[in-house]
């Protein structure tokens, strides 16, 4: 059997060895991945996945790394990033189709440029289109489920499947893809015509709220905890006096208690220890258990 890297070389698939994942996450935390593979086409993706399977190499897909906390010991196997055709965005009337590797902010800008409203809530969410669908990202009263009309994915059997909106099981920070392991390739959005001025005003308003209320000046992975029913995670954390609580290089933001920030050289263990401290304290003092939203992965 042909060796793993030999197959990648033969197929002209781009990869690097021992890539620090701290360079690929918004938390700026994470050890080395054995392989970081970048694919530009469906054919390259299918071949890379086949090479992983034939060589018993585990793999994970990487978006913009905005909701990930990666182990300091890195990731065993391959991390696969989507580029090339997976970053393309096209417009057809009031519909937009976006590759999973495109940035969500770019999708919002394309909508604005074409006088299409509906995605304003997503402007400023620091993720990829694929990651946003996978997590059903949302903010300011809007969620991806409000605008997604279909998603095309690569199944575990290597087949292309297009899901209609009502097949996506989009719920609070979840989707069918969390359960079935399919890889999101493209998503289509049904938007509505509106004036550029009105769309831009809403985008600017949401961005102003982000800048003034969130610690965007520090590396983080966004909201650490899911919103508990009947309460807000940040409010509960603040009520427990945990703003500014620090373990190593990880700190509960004093600007927004729902964020844990990297104040310098934070490790994965620092963050996880702080997460547990917050969970235990909030549970003991309020009765609420805060479920983690950020995804911890790696060795």
Which residue among 44, 120, 143, 293 is the active-site one?
A: 293
117, 113, 151: which is closest to 131 by C-alpha? Answer: 151
Give yes or no for a contact between 11 and 54, defined as CB atoms under 8 angstroms apart: no
Residue 153 pairs in a beta bridge with 161, 184
DSSP state of 115: T
Question: Under CATH, which number does the domain 4-82 receive?
Answer: 3.30.43.10
Which residue among 66, 175, 187, 223 is the active-site one?
A: 223
Instruction: Give the mean pLDDT of the chain.
Output: 96
Q: What is the mean pLDDT of residues 224-250?
A: 97
User: Would you tell me which CATH number, out of the four given (3.40.50.1220, 3.40.50.10860, 3.30.1490.20, 3.30.465.10), belongs to the domain 88-199?
Assistant: 3.30.465.10
Q: What is the mean pLDDT of residues 269-287?
A: 98
3-state secondary structure of 191: coil
Residue spans in the chain of domains classed CATH 3.30.465.10: 88-199
Query: pLDDT-derived band of residue 101, with 50, 70 and 90 as boundaries?
Result: very high
User: Could you confirm whether 167 is annotated as catalytic?
Assistant: no
What pLDDT was estimated at residue 176?
97
The H or E element spanning position 164 is strand 160-164
Q: What is the mean pLDDT of residues 184-206?
A: 97
User: Could you confirm whether 173 is annotated as catalytic?
Assistant: yes
Which residue among 173, 187, 202, 251 is the active-site one?
A: 173
CA distances for 69 relative to 52, 219, 254, angstroms? 23, 11, 21
DSSP state of 45: H
User: Would you tell me which CATH number, out of the four given (3.40.50.2300, 3.40.640.10, 3.90.78.10, 3.40.50.620), belongs to the domain 215-297?
Assistant: 3.90.78.10
Longest dimension (CA), the chain: 60
Residue spans in the chain of domains classed CATH 3.90.78.10: 215-297
Alpha-carbon gap, residue 185 to 163, rounded angstroms:
11
Count helices and strands (H / E) in the chain: 8, 19
User: Could you confirm whether 156 is annotated as catalytic?
Assistant: no
């Amino acid at each position: 059997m042909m060796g793993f890297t030999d197959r990648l070389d033969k197929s002209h698939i781009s990869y690097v060895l021992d890539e620090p994942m701290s360079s690929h996450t918004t938390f700026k935390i994470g050890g080395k991945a054995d392989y970081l593979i970048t694919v530009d086409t469906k054919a390259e993706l299918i071949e890379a996945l086949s090479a992983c399977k034939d060589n018993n190499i585990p793999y994970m897909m990487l978006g913009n790394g905005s909701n990930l906390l990666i182990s300091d010991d890195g990731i065993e196997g391959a991390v696969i990033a989507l580029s090339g055709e997976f970053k393309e965005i096209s417009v057809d009337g009031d519909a937009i189709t976006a590759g999973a590797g495109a940035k969500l902010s770019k999708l919002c800008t394309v909508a604005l440029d074409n006088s299409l409203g509906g995605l304003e809530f997503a402007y400023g969410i620091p993720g990829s289109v694929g990651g946003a669908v996978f997590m059903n990202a949302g903010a300011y009263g809007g969620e991806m489920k409000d605008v997604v009309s279909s998603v095309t994915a690569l199944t575990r059997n290597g087949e292309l499947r297009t899901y209609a909106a009502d097949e996506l099981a989009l719920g609070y920070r979840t989707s069918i893809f969390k359960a079935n392991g399919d890889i999101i390739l493209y998503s289509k959005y049904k938007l509505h015509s509106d004036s550029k001025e009105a769309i831009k005003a809403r985008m600017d308003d949401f961005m102003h709220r982000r800048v003034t209320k969130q610690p965007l000046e520090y590396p983080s992975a966004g909201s650490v905890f899911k919103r508990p029913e009947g309460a807000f995670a940040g409010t509960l954390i603040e009520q427990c006096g945990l703003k500014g609580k620090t373990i190593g290089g990880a700190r509960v933001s004093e600007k927004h208690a729902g964020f844990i920030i990297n104040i310098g050289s934070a490790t994965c263990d620092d963050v996880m220890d702080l997460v547990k401290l917050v969970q235990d304290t909030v549970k003991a003092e309020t009765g609420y258990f805060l479920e983690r939203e950020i995804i911890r992965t790696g060795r």
